[in-house]
Amino acid sequence: MSMIRWRRRQDLPSLLERMHTMLGDLGREPTNVVPFWPESEAGAVPAVDMYETDTEVVIRAELPGVKREDIQVNAEKNVITIRGESKEEEETEESGYYRRELRYGSFSRTLPTPTDINHENVTAKFEDGILTIRAPKTEEEPSGRTVEVE
């Protein structure tokens, strides 16, 4: 009976490494291609940075190729949702492509904020493919009260 050496899961080559090996065996130059917008169950989602200052929560989202009129921002007490669509401008034949990595279609990303926000005063500005959302923190005292134990 022959023995098979057991390897821990993290020692196994990743799918990407195996694909590089296969492409290398075919004589093609492999590339390190990472999707620009990672996939989620709802489709592609834009990359975002979110940070908090003393007075507001700021969200910056990368939306290359998206037009201002195709972006929708919804704000609630502690959640901001960014929706939009990247549209392909022209029809082309598939057979002439060597590589096709640009993403087209709808996207949606819902981001819980680290603190409650004043959703009535949220602003959004879109410039050079970057959407910047500024959400002032709420000045209300937290709801609820301390209950004295008898």
- CA torsion 9-11-16-21 (nearest 10°) is -130
Instruction: Compute the mean pLDDT over every residue in the chain, rounded to the nearest whole number.
Output: 76
- pLDDT 10s digits, 88-118: 666 556 666 666 666 677 888 999 999 999 9
- pLDDT 10s digits, 52-88: 999 999 999 999 888 999 999 999 988 999 998 887 6
33 vs 76, more confident: 76
With 0.75 as the threshold, say if the pTM is over it. Answer: no
- 24 inside domain: no
CB distance 121 to 55 below 8 Å? no
Q: Counting every residue, how long is the chain?
A: 150
Instruction: Count the domains in the chain.
Output: 1
- 148 inside domain: no
- pLDDT 10s digits, 123-135: 999 999 999 999 9
Task: Provide the CATH number for the domain around residue 69.
Answer: 2.60.40.790
pLDDT for the residue numbered 9: 53
113 residue type, one letter:
T
